[in-house]
Amino acid sequence: MKTAQAMSVTETKQEIRALVSRYKKEGKSIGFVPTMGYLHEGHLALAKQARKENDIVIMSIFVNPLQFGPNEDFDRYPRDAEGDRHKAEAAGVDVLFIPSVKEMYPRALSVQMTVTKGTDVLCGRKRPGHFDGVATVLSKLFHLVQPDRAYFGLKDAQQVAVVENLVRDLDFPIDIVPCPIVREPDGLAKSSRNVYLSEAERKEAPEIYKSLQLANKAVEQGERNPEKVISLVKAHLSAHLSGKIDYVELYSYPDLEPVHAIHGRCILAVAVQFEKARLIDNIIFAE
């Protein structure tokens, strides 16, 4: 692990390229954590994992307008620039890259990326074009940062799948490192949205993870029928939550294709809509 030093903060592509070039000439490995800021423990866990496995850790904070749909308010996305800087430095980040929209997109794009696989399921079904924006900004960031490894949380497992396919299909020389979901002591997946839960909803919310654990136990005991596993989860959620089930779906992973029997890597994902918060969670089965 590196000795403590002040974190560098850069806002331009020219500066980040210069830093990366220097690190590459020095033979240092680079771990990259791309974020949209408003950092929480999940983000910081990614940075800490990158710190363990790389000589240099670079984190980006960029609220990407390309991944916001017409009914999603880009301007209202939460931001905390000063707090983020302190948290990033405490987590061991060496370089914080915080470009403006104008810096990242100085002119209208002449090339548009389209993700054709794994976007019409789970959360992507209701966010057309979202992952096109994710793929575009990550391609730009990967070129700028040139990381050896890039770290993503499995809380948004669909995004991780899209990124894994992006790197594989376009031959980026990067290892994608999926990191486990960070949870509260009662099992609830950590999320900035949790603060919008009422007291009663907060007590119910851990049942989402409990339903996934029940499914995992059933699979471990030999259940291979996706419909039966999905029904088990839905029954548990309906009996224990006041929120509305948005979806309970099971697919191959990371291809996110329907399966007739559970084998190999599969993801079981859940989304529940409470009054003021929509919570997602998932579990990945691997034989």
Instruction: Please enumerate, by residue number, every residue annotated as part of a binding site.
Output: 36-43, 67, 153-156, 159, 182, 190-193
Q: Of 120, 141, 134, 123, nearest to 163 (Cα)?
A: 134
Sign of the Cα torsion 144, 98, 68, 243 reads: positive
Sign of the Cα torsion 61, 65, 67, 69 reads: positive
Strand order across the beta sheet in which 56-61 lies:
8-10, 95-97, 56-61, 30-35, 149-153, 175-179
Q: Which amino acid is at 183?
A: R
43 is catalytic: yes
Residues tagged in the binding site annotation for ATP: 36-43, 153-156, 182, 190-193
CA distance 146 to 287: 33
Residues tagged in the binding site annotation for (R)-pantoate: 67, 159
Residues tagged in the binding site annotation for beta-alanine: 67
Contact 52, 181 (CB under 8 A): no
Among the options 43, 86, 260, 263, which is catalytic? 43
Peptide bond into 254 cis (omega under 30): yes
As annotated, the active-site residues are 43
